[in-house]
Structure 1
Amino acid sequence: MKKIILGLAIAGIIFSCGKTKKEDTVAKVEAVTEEVSKELAPVSDAMMENAVIYEANIRQYSEEGSFKAFTKDIPILKNLGVKVLWVMPIYPISTTKSKGSLGSYYAISDYTKVNPEFGTIEDFRDLVKTAHENGIYVVLDWVANHTGWDHVWLKEHPEFYTKNDKGEITHTVGTDWTDVADLNYDNKEMRAEMLKAMKYWVKEEGVDGFRCDVAGMVPVDFWDTTVAELKKIKPVFMLAEGWEPELMENAFDMGYGWDTHHAMNHIAKGENTVEAWDKRMVQVDSMYADDDILMNFTSNHDENSWNGTVQERMGDAKEMFAALSYVAPGMPLIYSGQEYDMDKRLLFFEKDTIIKKKGVFYPLYEKLGKLKNENPALNGGKNAASYTRIKTSEDDKVLVFKREKEGNKVVFVANMTKESVKFAAEYEGKFKEYLSGEYIEGTKDQEYELDPWQYLILIQE
């Protein structure tokens, strides 16, 4: 195989609709039918199969740091294949014991109001409406483990909180989260109030689910009971910031693929080989049920701010691992700014701004999103496509695997080293390389060569 330079093409599909003014009854009925058809269907297993999820950092997304500034860019997310919008906490932030000048999103003073820093509740409602009009579901970041020190519960219901042996309310033990007070889940009244607040956002504001912060630090039985109650209102999508399989037995649809992410980082730094990826895939297969979904990511708000940018952690391997996050089993995540080649650690407790200038990653995410949305071989939900490892003559350096469903086949080939590598693969067929458009004929005894971190996404014909 000759070395292939991957070409990226920006493809945009613009949908427009118009309504001709007619007075006859038939036209009016057609117009009503058209409006109904525009409504976003409820959350479903089918949606989860081919979705891309986007994490929105409202404060840092724009110079304004507002709902309005973010909302106008929602059609751009649609172009990237995004179907689920995870909005980082939008609630008022406590000022008591706060960190930095603006404080942490995760130190909440009121679960049922919006942070005036971002705008008004009407602005948020417009965000939800615009997302739904673009076929995107909205999930709110929910912080059930703790509240900020200004929360009304501290004054009215101190029994809702964990206390030390002196009877003092404490922050979460074993953490440096001094800006928050730990909630006591032995208190049933507190649990009821937490459920009430979550119901408000689903029933009154139309959100479609929640991403639940440090979900593993909250009792599983609370999640199981709470999500069952939320689903009585409407179907919801639930993402746990946690890896524990028990979280996904009943309450959560998806958890974090933390160990998958860590394997990527270690391979990118040359600390591990492809063997680490293979071991992780075996681990996933043994630990999780067939209908469990894991979120694949090369960054998120924690990784970016505290552990480094994608460039810092992955260097020249960053594009290959971005592609792998889409092609591997699971649901891929884009964190705010990744689509614009962001290469800085965003401030967490202060105002910062993402520079929105298209470079390498916008067209790459656009192409990957289209493939993820449209090819069943990349289904990664509760009825995921199969994953089959294909052996090569250099299995410690080259990763080759096949995803297959309903007769559709996608083969991923990647050199996971910083050196060029020659190899043979135990697989043959006729393929179209998705990103370049080139056709490739492969045989079992054929020798291939890939540049450092080069990858191919092959559509088998």
Structure 2
Amino acid sequence: MKQITDPRYEPKNYVKITTPDWVKNATIYELNIRQFSREGTFQAVNKQLSRLKKMGIDIIWLMPIHPIGEVHRKGTLGSYYSVKDYYGINPEFGLEQDFKNLIKAIHDAGMYVIIDWVANHTSWDNELVEKHPDWYMKSRKNTFQSTRWRDYDDIIEFDYKNPALRKYMTEALKYWVKEFDIDGYRCDIASFVPIDFWENAREELDAIKPVFMLAEAEDKELHRKAFDSTYNWTLWNILHLISVQGLSVKTLTETYLAEHVSIFPKEGIRMNFIDNHDKNSWEGNQYSNFGDALKAVIVFNVMMDGIPLVYSGQEAGLNRSLEFFEKDPIEWKTHEFSKLYTKLFKLKHKNQALWNGQYGGEMVRIMNDKMDKVISFVREKNGDKVLTIINLSRDQLIVQLDTSFDQGIYTNLFTGKKRNVDSTMVVTLDAWQYTILHLTGNYN
């Protein structure tokens, strides 16, 4: 019998953008320029690029590079996110040529660079306030207003109902791509800005060169025509509760992951993180937020579907909150986390199962007899395969897993030893311990 197809009912791709090929197995590093060195300059960043590349970083995200407002400034140096001039360079970091030199150095090292973009608001003394007061939101008293319901009194909020504002902001975004050859943007509180603005801006940016766009938001609709990647705030919250309150792993698997693999667009890429400037500045540090579980959740974040983030200093064991409005340089030292990230990122680059979004393998649950404490799953793509088993509890456990669909001879990522996996596998795991077994065609 001849099959009759009706185009009205054929599946259609949810996502309409094309993510650059170089993002397929990429990692991200959020670089806090002010605190990254004692100098706090673009030039000082150059000195550490080779180290970041060796660790396995692919995309450098620079926190805002623009001049900071002085009116109602917070602290001595102010917030990066109180933008005084969208076309200017913060003199604290250096000159325009210094920035161009940094971008070239990043590219020469085989990495890419995105910059932080604050489209929702400006400082009180941005020239746009006087030139175009109608571009801003007004309170009931007809005065400029800070971001609603938040204590951000050093900034005032735009009103995107104005087409002239949209054109200005789009041209400003295009300027840094055309004139400085940056590779995309991390967009601050992206969901506060109308999605149709972002969709149009993405189209105009891609006409210049393929860009990578990261939204500080979780909305899956942002992936349709605007953003390649969005934040995984929900995952952070669940892992935090498991780590500090002993929440059952079933909350992660049956609530979050079941929804993630079912309804999140396959082309979309979640950004997984342990720390970032918001968490670190206002909600503690990687140690206080995850305690003894820290290494386990680092491993999970890289094995999990999504693009992993490292925040400045994490790899050096950063154990405090960095000052946000003052100078507070990171203390750089050799730390085991640098080696851990290097090993994990090497596997991610080589093994296609761990690649990002649609480029990688879907997470498939492996059943075990300790499902409330142990998460176990497999990812597979083009012959590459990774088995992840993590004890997300304070207990020492003997765990039996159903590996009937995953039999074979694997390599243990951390010992380098071979392991034969039969239809049933039994492993002993200390508290917060993990086992990563992989089949990688091009791993050495």
Q: TM class, shorter-chain normalised?
A: over 0.9
Q: Which residue of 2 aligns with 1:449?
A: 428
Q: Which residue of 1 aligns with 2:276?
A: 300
- Measure, in 1, the Cα distance between the counterparts of 2:424 and 2:437: 18
- Measure, in 2, the Cα distance between the counterparts of 1:378 and 1:257: 17
Q: Which residue of 1 aligns with 2:5?
A: none
Call closer, same or farther: CA 1:315–1:115 in 2, change over 3 Å.
same
Call closer, same or farther: CA 1:430–1:293 in 2, change over 3 Å.
same
1:46 alignment partner, one of 17, 21, 30:
21
Q: Which residue of 1 aligns with 2:14?
A: none
Q: Which residue of 1 aligns with 2:156?
A: 181
The AA in structure 2 aligned to 1:440 is: R
Q: Which residue of 1 aligns with 2:85?
A: 110
Q: How does 1:4-19 map to 2 (within 5 A)?
A: none
Call closer, same or farther: CA 1:161–1:447 in 2, change over 3 Å.
same
Q: Which residue of 2 aligns with 1:31?
A: none
CA contact (8 A) 1:215 1:240 kept: yes
Q: How does 1:136-147 map to 2 (within 5 A)?
A: 136-147=111-122
Call closer, same or farther: CA 1:373–1:249 in 2, change over 3 Å.
same
Deviation at 1:44, TM superposition (A): 5.3
- Measure, in 1, the Cα distance between the counterparts of 2:248 and 2:323: 33
CA contact (8 A) 2:55 2:341 kept: yes
Deviation per CA, 1:183-241: give whole Å up to 9, x if none.
01011111111111111100001111000000000000000011111111111100000
- Measure, in 2, the Cα distance between the counterparts of 1:373 and 1:287: 26
- Measure, in 1, the Cα distance between the counterparts of 2:290 and 2:302: 16
Tell me: higher relative CO, structure 1 or 2? Use CA pairs within 8 A at least 6 residues apart: 1
Taking structure 2 as the reference length, what is the TM-score of the superposition?
0.92
Deviation at 1:446, TM superposition (A): 4.6
- Measure, in 1, the Cα distance between the counterparts of 2:42 and 2:424: 56
Deviation at 1:310, TM superposition (A): 0.7
CA contact (8 A) 1:341 1:359 kept: yes
Q: Which residue of 2 aligns with 1:415?
A: 391
Deviation at 1:429, TM superposition (A): 3.4
1:267 alignment partner, one of 219, 242, 262:
242
Q: Which residue of 1 aligns with 2:15?
A: none
Deviation at 1:333, TM superposition (A): 0.3
Note if 1:90 corresponds to 2:65: yes
Q: How does 1:295-374 map to 2 (within 5 A)?
A: 295-374=271-350
2:109 alignment partner, one of 123, 131, 134:
134
Q: Secondary structure at the match of 1:394?
A: coil
Q: How does 1:24-103 map to 2 (within 5 A)?
A: 45-103=20-78
Return 5+ residue gaps in structure 2 as ranges.
1-17
Number of equivalenced pairs: 419
More off after superposition, 140-149 vs 286-295: 286-295
What is the alpha-carbon root mean square deviation over aligned residues? Answer: 1.3
The AA in structure 2 aligned to 1:393 is: D
Q: Which residue of 2 aligns with 1:376?
A: 352
The AA in structure 2 aligned to 1:67 is: F
Q: Which residue of 1 aligns with 2:411?
A: 432
The AA in structure 2 aligned to 1:261 is: W
More off after superposition, 178-187 vs 378-387: 378-387
Percent of matched pairs sharing the same residue: 41
- Measure, in 2, the Cα distance between the counterparts of 1:323 and 1:242: 23
Call closer, same or farther: CA 1:366–1:47 in 2, change over 3 Å.
same
Q: How does 1:141-180 map to 2 (within 5 A)?
A: 141-180=116-155
The AA in structure 2 aligned to 1:435 is: F
Return 5+ residue gaps in structure 1 as ranges.
1-42
Deviation at 1:373, TM superposition (A): 1.0
Q: How does 1:236-255 map to 2 (within 5 A)?
A: 236-255=211-230
- Measure, in 2, the Cα distance between the counterparts of 1:442 and 1:235: 42
CA contact (8 A) 2:374 2:392 kept: yes
- Measure, in 1, the Cα distance between the counterparts of 2:197 and 2:19: 23
CA contact (8 A) 2:352 2:359 kept: no
- Measure, in 1, the Cα distance between the counterparts of 2:287 and 2:311: 14
Q: Secondary structure at the match of 2:245?
A: coil
More off after superposition, 201-210 vs 45-54: 45-54
More off after superposition, 375-384 vs 345-354: 375-384
The AA in structure 1 aligned to 2:141 is: K
Q: How does 1:152-231 map to 2 (within 5 A)?
A: 152-231=127-206
CA contact (8 A) 2:293 2:432 kept: yes
Q: Secondary structure at the match of 1:164?
A: coil
- Measure, in 2, the Cα distance between the counterparts of 1:193 and 1:320: 45
Deviation at 1:290, TM superposition (A): 1.1
Q: Which residue of 2 aligns with 1:395?
A: 371
Deviation at 1:108, TM superposition (A): 0.5
- Measure, in 2, the Cα distance between the counterparts of 1:201 and 1:46: 21
- Measure, in 1, the Cα distance between the counterparts of 2:425 and 2:202: 53
The AA in structure 2 aligned to 1:384 is: G
The AA in structure 2 aligned to 1:386 is: E
The AA in structure 1 aligned to 2:413 is: Y
Call closer, same or farther: CA 1:170–1:226 in 2, change over 3 Å.
same
Taking structure 1 as the reference length, what is the TM-score of the superposition?
0.89
Deviation at 1:339, TM superposition (A): 1.0
CA contact (8 A) 2:20 2:210 kept: no
CA contact (8 A) 2:35 2:327 kept: yes
Call closer, same or farther: CA 1:66–1:359 in 2, change over 3 Å.
same
The AA in structure 2 aligned to 1:68 is: Q
- Measure, in 2, the Cα distance between the counterparts of 1:446 and 1:217: 48
- Measure, in 1, the Cα distance between the counterparts of 2:332 and 2:300: 24
